[in-house]
Amino acid sequence: MGEQRLGERYYLLLQPAVCPAGGGGEPVSMIEHVKTAVLWLMILASIVLTWFVWTYQPAYEELTEANNSFIEVEDIGETKSFTEVLYPSTVIEHDAEERAWVHPAGDNYSEMMNGLQEIELDAMYSVGSSYAPGDDLTFTGVEFLFDEALQAEWLPFLFDIEEEDVLINNIDRIALALTEQEGASDVVVRFIDMEEEEVFQSETSLSQTQLETFSEGVITERTAVTPRTFQENGDSSFQPVTYVPDEPMNKQVYTYETTDISPEGFIQTLFTDPEYVRQYFQEGEDSSYTDGTRMMDMTNGGSVLNYVQPDVSGSPGVASDTVVRSAQEFINSHYGWTDDFYATGWREGEATDSAEFTLHVEGMPVFEANTGESGHYQLETVRSGTEIIEYSRPMFQLDETPFEINTSVELPGYSELESHIEEEEAFSPEIVEDARVAFYMSRENSLVVFEPSWFVYARGQWHRVSTSEITEQEVLLNGLE
């Protein structure tokens, strides 16, 4: 009986509500009232939100230096044009059988290279082996020697010449020579390709007087030199002759204060999104930065940067520019150039290409350092396909001017040096391929001393030859605290 009454109660609860008798209306569901109320709320909310959109005024905040997460322009190194990174290893003045080494000093080599760009050249023509380099070649003019063979496509950057008038492939030497040939111009420019054993010549509008003043207008020291072929090229007319001084000479020692370069500028330029870069500390003062793909290592106590970007393209494209040009543009857009670095070596291979730029001080290159680390005086790049995938460089730069310390060293002539090599060095003079005067760099804390020294090229690298036993030298290595 109780279960029947309970069922009836549930039945009554489930029945729809009806208006009272006599109301004359239809049954109305409570759900319909709720729907109507919600609809009106939505309409009112839409009107309010629309009014907010129409009347919204964003509160813009003016950007200040404190809000700028990028490096400031004044902290970025200089950009360089392509011709500004090309530099001769040696400049020789020829006056018939007399020859003189034009000492690099300041910007004198750069000024002479700039002077070449003003020389308008006619179309090239071959002159065979008549002016092939050798111990017996004599002429009057100026000769430029380079560390590596220049590529033909670079000539329109160095001279005023049309691309279709360039017939040579590679250029190891350039000579501005006075000519007495009938019907020829007073001055011609000769281009020497040692690999192909070819000499091409172009006529110019230069006069003999202009040729004489070409290098004389640059105030610099000159030292008499003699031609020397260290490794003969068989019976060929094209011999790799170089020029060495046989008389002692005094060269200045330079001491500079250095300033450390912050890695922040490179984080901003070497990584796509600097916000994702994380720093990891290693032994000593070394550290690494990575975004998960690229890696930037700070080694040698933070004084050398080594950057690696893996080649993830799978099938790298073919580069349209030479590796030197690619490296120059890469450095321009990734912090820029600090101090005077010039292209001194480049290789293009099947898998990767490489280019290196060496620090020059007062126009003369640095060949070695007491730290044993080439990254203290060289910029090195590696290219795969069209991308630069490796980059290393020093993380300090020299002050604009050296300390005013009048210190010099006396270097012996090469004949005396050769006797010293035979007696003291671990290799024989017979394997020497070249000899140059360059700087040896000594770095202690924030001071860097550049000492002129003799270097010989043997076994694929430059070796410093100590001459302290030949002449007494007084060199400042640890002064100035």
Q: How far apart, in whole angstroms, are the C-alpha atoms of residue 80 and residue 340?
A: 10
Dihedral sign for Cα atoms in the order 323, 324, 330, 331: positive
What tokens were used for 137? 């070649």
What residues in the chain have per-residue pLDDT under 50? 1-26, 59-74, 472-481
Beta carbons of 112 and 91 less than 8 angstroms apart: yes
The letter for the amino acid at 459 is R
Tell me the pairing of strands 407-411 and 378-384. unpaired
pLDDT digits (tens, 9 = 90+) for 385-398: 999 999 999 999 99
> Which parts of 374-413 fold into alpha helices (H)?
none
Q: Please answer whether residues 91 and 109 qualify as being in contact, where contact means their C-beta atoms are separated by less than 8 angstroms.
A: yes
In angstroms, the CA 297 to CA 287 distance is 6
Residue 366 tokens read as 């640095």
**Strand pairing partners for 190?**
175, 201
CA distance 284 to 304: 14
**What pLDDT is attached to residue 28?**
53
Q: Are 331 and 380 in contact (CB under 8 A)?
A: no
Q: 172 and 193 in contact (C-beta within 8 Å)?
A: yes
Amino acid at 36: T
Residue 203 Rama label (left phi>0; alpha psi -120 to 50; beta): beta
The pLDDT assigned to 66 comes to 38
CA distance 249 to 417: 13
Residue ranges per domain, the chain?
82-236, 246-257+399-481, 262-394
Q: How far apart are CA 87 and CA 112, in angstroms?
A: 10
Sequence-distant (6+) residues with CB within 8 A of 424 are: 469
Q: What is the CATH number of domain 262-394?
A: 3.30.310.160
pLDDT for 294 equals 94
403/354 Cα distance (integer angstroms): 35
Neighbours of 25 (CB within 10 A): 8
What DSSP letter does each residue of 82-127 carry, written as one string? GGGG---SEEEEEEETEEEEE---TTHHHHHHHHHTT-B----EE-
CA distance 403 to 407: 11
Domain range 246-257+399-481, its CATH number among 3.50.50.60, 2.40.30.10, 2.40.128.690, 2.40.10.330: 2.40.128.690
Amino acid at 114: N
Which of 98, 110, 181 lies closest to 141 in space, CA to CA?
A: 98
